[in-house]
Structure 1
Amino acid sequence: MSNPVTAIPPAPAAEVAAHYARRLAFETDCADVRAASETAAPGFVLLDVRGPQAYARGHVPGAINLPRGKMTPRRMAEWPAGTLFVVYCAGPHCNGADKAALHLAELGLPVKLMIGGITGWEDEGFALAEG
């Protein structure tokens, strides 16, 4: 007897592993960003891609405010080649981080999206920085 969960059988384990490994190449989460940020060398630059006013009201500690329109080749060249950028926006209801990630990738830069954005950060109970 099947139900909505079992009606379609699961993919083979190797396919499932490949799928989730690929997803993790594109995204990270708030807890991982926070844990990495607490180390001496987190290995990425965290970009808040919202507007300056939203950033000033509260942002992830250590994030740089850089809306997509200001991500010019000249500006991005301020970081060493190969720098990983992690982008976030307001939350799941906002696709600003997706657009920023696409833009950075089109510039040939390594990028990941921090899923959840500010909403996810606060849902985890993490404090925001102001200013």
Structure 2
Amino acid sequence: MTDLAAKSPSTTSPNTTVSKTPAANAAEAAAHFAARLSFETDCADVWCAMNHQQQDFVLVDVRMQTLFAAGHLPGAINIPTRKLTPARLAEFPDDALFVVYCAGPHCNGSTKAALKLAQLGRPVKEMIGGVTGWIDEGFGLARG
């Protein structure tokens, strides 16, 4: 056990690294967290939408085709970031919401894809956690 873990709350400094910087006021916090939700979604919300026939988005795996074939989210299509072009996206309505994901928290492929889609004028959200988060939630992968 580390010294830090051994300390009880009553023996720690009242000005810890957590509280050293004051929390934002409630209105600022609400605006911040609402904004984050307009940019991202999570594995559980994607799973829920897909499994309750409420999928109102295009789920895009932006990893290379070999990784997609080895295992991807059920219902996802594979469009690696470099192939996110106006011509490739023409098959989707202009207002189609894209939800992009990559390997997981150690990968920024979905962030790059989300940026590219936004630059192309497309609505987009990043699924935080990626394949790693999906598996961590206990959800299965499709193959092929």
- Give how far 1:49 is off: 0.3
TM-score by length of 2: 0.88
The 3-state SS of whatever aligns with 1:6 is: coil
- Give how far 1:41 is off: 3.5
- Paired AA for residue 118 in structure 2: A
Matches within 5 A, 1:43-82: 43-82=56-95
1:116 corresponding residue in structure 2: 129
- Give the Cα separation in 2 of the matches to 1:23 and 1:98: 13
2:39 corresponding residue in structure 1: 26
2:100 corresponding residue in structure 1: 87
Of all paired residues, the percent bearing the same amino acid is: 62
- Give the Cα separation in 2 of the matches to 1:87 and 1:26: 11
TM-score by length of 1: 0.97
| Unaligned runs of at least 5 residues, structure 1 | none
The 3-state SS of whatever aligns with 2:139 is: coil
- Give how far 1:73 is off: 0.2
Total equivalences in the alignment = 131
Q: Does 1:101 align with 2:114?
A: yes
- Give the Cα separation in 2 of the matches to 1:67 and 1:129: 17
| Unaligned runs of at least 5 residues, structure 2 | 1-13
Greater RCO (CA < 8 Å, at least 6 residues apart): 1
- Paired AA for residue 78 in structure 1: E
Query: Structure 1, residues 84-111: CA drift from partner, whole Å, max 9, x if none?
Result: 0000000011111111001100100000
Range with greater deviation from structure 2 (32-41 or 97-106): 32-41
- Give how far 1:24 is off: 0.5
- Paired AA for residue 57 in structure 1: A
Query: Structure 1, residues 9-47: CA drift from partner, whole Å, max 9, x if none?
Result: 211000000000000000000000000111324110000
